[in-house]
Amino acid sequence: MSPILFSIYVDDLIGELRNSGYGIYIGRLFVGCILYADDILLLSYCSCYGLQSMLNVCVEFGSKWDILFKSAKTQCVTFGGNSPKRFSLAIGAKQLSCCTKLKYLGCIFLDGSCEIDISPSVGKLYAKFNNIMAVLGKYNNEMAAVHLTNSYCLPSLVYACEIWSLRKSSAHSVRVALNNSFRSIFNCCWQENPKVCCFIVEPCQFCTQLTSVVYCSTRS
């Protein structure tokens, strides 16, 4: 019940941000703010002034409805170009600092390119795989190990892969992680390639334009 009530609670904020005249539009569709639970993502196309105006709307809405936007938990990142040097964003009187990475819904976006940092996902795959192999022991059933790897390790690695925009080196690290796992299961030599799968990653066209993003959190 709480998520539904909170959605109703902040629904007017979306309307106020839309009516501000700032933010990103796809055709006539306003996509200047993306909300999931109590996380708010503000997007502004090539306009720090517009982004600051949207922040001011959030602060005014918070003052009216007793919602506190914490500057310490707010991140600012620029995609498609360099971070502005002569303009600083603020929540109230507290300035925001620009960051090089933005974590949103479990995905880590790198500034500038908007590529995904998949190193944490690769680390999770190795950690889960090592746990599986430790439980199965030295004389494990190969097909059981394959099934457990596909069921518990692979989802951690390919989480949100639909939005991946990767360098060739990052895509290579994904293939290496999978190949190493299955080499370990079947006791293959490192020169042998099990050819588990092949990923085709298309670039995220939406993020090739200069876009400034602010990620706000109301969590205490």
Encode pLDDT of 116-131 as tens digits: 888 899 999 999 999 9
Q: 215: closest CA among 98, 41, 84? A: 41
Encode pLDDT of 53-78 as tens digits: 999 999 999 899 888 888 888 888 88
Q: How far apart are CA 145 and CA 129, in angstroms?
A: 9
Any residues with CB less than 8 A from the CB of 202 and at least 6 apart, and which?
165
Band of pLDDT at residue 192, cut at 50, 70 and 90 = low
Quick check: pTM over 0.85?
no
Encode pLDDT of 14-54 as tens digits: 999 999 989 999 988 999 998 887 788 899 887 788 889 99
Q: What is the mean pLDDT of residues 140-150?
A: 85
What pLDDT does residue 186 have? 82
Give the angle 187-140-192 at the CA atoms, nearest 5°.
15
- Determine how many CB atoms are found less than 10 A away from the CB of residue 31: 14
Burial class (CB in 10 A: 0-12, 13-18, 19+), 28: exposed
Any residues with CB less than 8 A from the CB of 86 and at least 6 apart, and which?
none
